[in-house]
A = this chain, B = another copy of it.
Amino acid sequence: MTSPPDDVLELLRQRGRHPDPSALDALMRGVAAAPEGLAGPEWVELATANDGLDAAPAPASRLAALRAELKRRDLAGFVVPRADEHQGEYVPRHSQRLAWLTGFSGSAGLAIVLTDRAAIFIDGRYTLAVRGQVDTDAFVPHQIPEQSPETWIAESLPRGGKLGFDPWLQTVDGHERFARACQRAGAEFVPVDSNPVDAVWPDRPPAPLAPVLPHPDEFAGESSATKRTRIAGAVKAKGADVALITAPDSIAWLLNVRGGDVPRTPFALGFALLHGDGHVDLFMDRRKVPDRTLAWLGNAVTLAPPDELGAALDMLGKVGKRVLIESATAPVWAATRLQTAGVALVRDADPVALPKACKNAVELEGIRRAHRRDGAAVSGFLGWLGRESKGGKLREIEASDRLQALRQQTGKLRDLSFDTISGAGPNGAIVHYRASEASQRTLEPGSLYLVDSGGQYRDGTTDITRTVAIGTPSPEMRDRFTRVLKGHIALAMARFPAGTTGSQLDALARYALWQAGLDYDHGTGHGVGAYLSVHEGPHRISKMPNNVALQPGMIVSNEPGYYKTDAYGIRIENLVAVREAKIDGADRRYLEFETLTLAPIDLACIEPGLLTDAERQWLDDYHRRVRETVGPEVDEATRAWLAEATRAVALR
C-alpha cells in the first residue's frame, strides 16, 4: 500500500492538521476502498488496492486455506453469504468474501464450505454465469429455490458437527432457518467471533471511507429533527423504546446526510439507535465524517465508533429498554447481544422504511426537476441514436458511453444510479445484461435495442428503460411491444382505492401479454429513493405478495417487459409517483400515478390497431407532455427529432 503522497500531507498541514502518518495511511487506504464516483473525487483519490477481487475463478489455494483455518477452529464447515452486515444490494470490497473465495460476482449467492465438499447456491439468473466465474468442481452449484441450502445442510452436515457462521452476516430470520436445518442433521449452528475468511485473505481491503456530507433541506424537505421525533413516536406506538436501524439508506434519510461507501448509491455504512426522545446514537467511523457534517448532525446525534455498538446494546438491557429490530435484515449478532443483555425484542419492520418511501412535496419537486433534466439527456440520446444507428456500425458500449456523457453534460450528475444495461438484439433478452468488450453487439437493422439506465442527482434518482427499433421491426416485435405498452398504460392510467398494494395491481401490467401466452420473469415495479437507492422498499409491484399499501408520495417503477431468448428484449419503464386521484362522486379515497419519466416511447414499435381508444389517448397525451416539458431543455436537432417522435398516433 502506498503511503500518502506529499501533496496531501502538504494540504493538510496548510489547514493546520498534523496527522500521524500511520493514521493517515489507514485513512487513505479506507478512502481508496470507497468506490469511484463520476462527479470527481470528494476526497483525495488514491490508487486502488490489489485486493484479490478479480472477475475470474478464485485460486484453489483460498479454499484450502479456509479449510485449514476451519480445522484449527474445530468447525465442520462455514457459511459464506454474499451479504454484508447491512444486507444491501451493493457490498463494499472488504465484505466481498464470497467473490474472493469463489470468484462469483453475482448480486445474490451463498457458499457453504465443509471439509470434504463445498456448494454454491445461486438463483436462475446466474446458472450460466456461475460456470464461467467459479471452479464448479470445488464449489458445486445449486439453483435456488429448487435446491435450498437448508436441505443441503440437513443432508450433508456430519452428525455432531459444528457449522460456523458469521453472526454479523446472518439475519435473525435466516439464522432461524439454518439453525433448524442443522438440528435436522443432528449438527450445531455456531457463531464465530471473527470471520475465518478474513483470517486467510491477505490483501483484504479496509472498510471504505467515503465522506459523509449534509443533504440540505432544499432537497430533503424535512429536518432530521422532525423526522427523528415522528419516527421515535412510531417506534413507541409499536411498544418499543428504541429502534436499531441497520439499513444505511434509512440512516441517510433519517439524518439528512449522504455518503459514498458503495457504488451507485449515496449512503454511508453504519448502524444507528433511535431513542424515544428522537436522539440518535450513530455508529460510524469518525474519519469519514467531516466537522461540518458533525455540526449539521447537531447535538441530538451522538457519533460513536462502530465497535461500541455492542456496549450500547448491553446498556439498553441494563436500563430495561425494549428494542425494535427488523428480523428479516438485522444481524443475528445484534439480536443475540440484546437478548443476552435481557432486552425484550419487538420484531417489526424498519420504522424508517415507510416514511422514507413517502416523499414530501420538496422531494417530489426535486424529483420532477431531476426527471426533466434526465429526460432531456435521454431524449438527446435517443435522437442521436436514431441518426447514428442508421450507419449500422454503432455498438452497445459506445451507445451507453454517449448516454452517460449526455447525463454528465447536465453538470448535475453525481453518479449513475446503476450500471447501464445497453443490450442490442439477443443481448436485450438478458434481463441483467452488462455489456463488455467481449459480449457487446452491433445495433443491426431489423433488431431491437434495449437501454435501461438512470442517474443520481442531488435532487433525485432516475431510472428509465426504452426499447428502440433499429431499422424496421418485425410484425411479431410490434405485437409484443404493443402488448408490453398496453400493460404499461393500464398501470399508468390506473386509479385504485387507498389501501391497495402493488401486488394487487401487478396483473394489470401483464394481462395483455398473458392473453397471448407470454409473460416476463421480473417484478413490474420497485420503489426508488430520493437521491438514495434506486431499489427501495417497502412497497413494490410484483407477483410476490406484499402487504404494504401504496401511499401518496411513493415512487415506483412501471416496467413491464417481454424477452425472447436469443432474439430480442422489450421493456418500457417510467418512474411514477403515487398521488391522490380527484374523482367526482368517488365512493371513497382513490389514488393514481403521476408519470415522472419524460422521454418518447418508440412509435415505430407500436401496432396502433392493438390499442384501445383510451390507450391511444394516453400515449398522445404523454407524448405531448414530453414534447412540451423536455423540448425547451434540448438543442435544435433534438427538438426537431422530438417533434416527430412525439407525434399523435394515427389508427392506420
Contacts and interface: CB of A to CB of B under 8 A. Distances in A.
A333 interface: no
A493 B508 contact: no
B515 A495 contact: yes
A581 interface: yes
Contacts of A518: 586-587
> How many copies of this chain sit in the oligomeric assembly?
2
Contacts of A511: 490, 494, 508
B507 A505 contact: yes
A296 interface: no
Contacts of A612: 612
Interface string A507-545: 110010011111100000000000000000000000101
Given A504-B503, A505-B507, A517 B547 contact: no
A490 B497 CA distance: 19
A496 interface: yes
A308 interface: no
A496 B517 contact: no
A590 interface: yes
A411 interface: no
A71 B583 CA distance: 57
A516 B547 contact: no
Contacts of A497: 514, 519
A487 to B, nearest CB: 12
Nearest to A516: B583
A506 interface: yes
A72 interface: no
A587 B493 contact: no
A495 B507 CA distance: 11
A391 interface: no
Contact of A588 (B519, B543, B584, B590): B519
A585 interface: yes
Nearest to A586: B517
A583 B506 CA distance: 22
A381 B213 CA distance: 75
A615 to B, nearest CB: 10
Given A503-B503, A503-B504, A547-B545, A493 B515 contact: yes
Contact of A519 (B494, B515, B587): B587
Nearest to A562: B587
Contact of A517 (B505, B507, B590): B590
A516 B587 CA distance: 9
Interface string A585-598: 11110100000000
B503 A545 contact: yes
Interface in A463-507: 490, 493-497, 500, 503-507
Contact of A581 (B507, B517, B585, B590): B517
Contacts of A514: 494-497, 590
A554 to B, nearest CB: 17
Interface in A231-261: none
Contacts of A495: 514-515, 517
Contacts of A545: 503, 545, 547
Nearest to A587: B518
Contacts of A587: 517-519
A503 B496 CA distance: 15
Nearest to A519: B497
A496 B507 contact: yes
A4 to B, nearest CB: 56
Nearest to A543: B504
Contacts of A507: 496, 500, 504-505, 507-508
Contacts of A584: 517
A245 B518 CA distance: 40
Most buried by B among A490, A494, A497: A497
11 contacts: A490-B511, A493-B515, A494-B511, A495-B517, A503-B545, A517-B581, A517-B583, A517-B586, A518-B586, A519-B588, A545-B547
Closest 6 CB pairs of A and B: A517-B586, A517-B583, A504-B507, A495-B514, A545-B545, A496-B514
Interface of A: 490, 493-497, 500, 503-508, 511, 514-519, 543, 545, 547, 581, 583-588, 590, 612
Given A517-B583, A517-B590, 12 more contacts: A494-B511, A494-B515, A497-B519, A503-B545, A504-B507, A504-B543, A507-B507, A508-B508, A508-B511, A516-B585, A518-B587, A545-B545
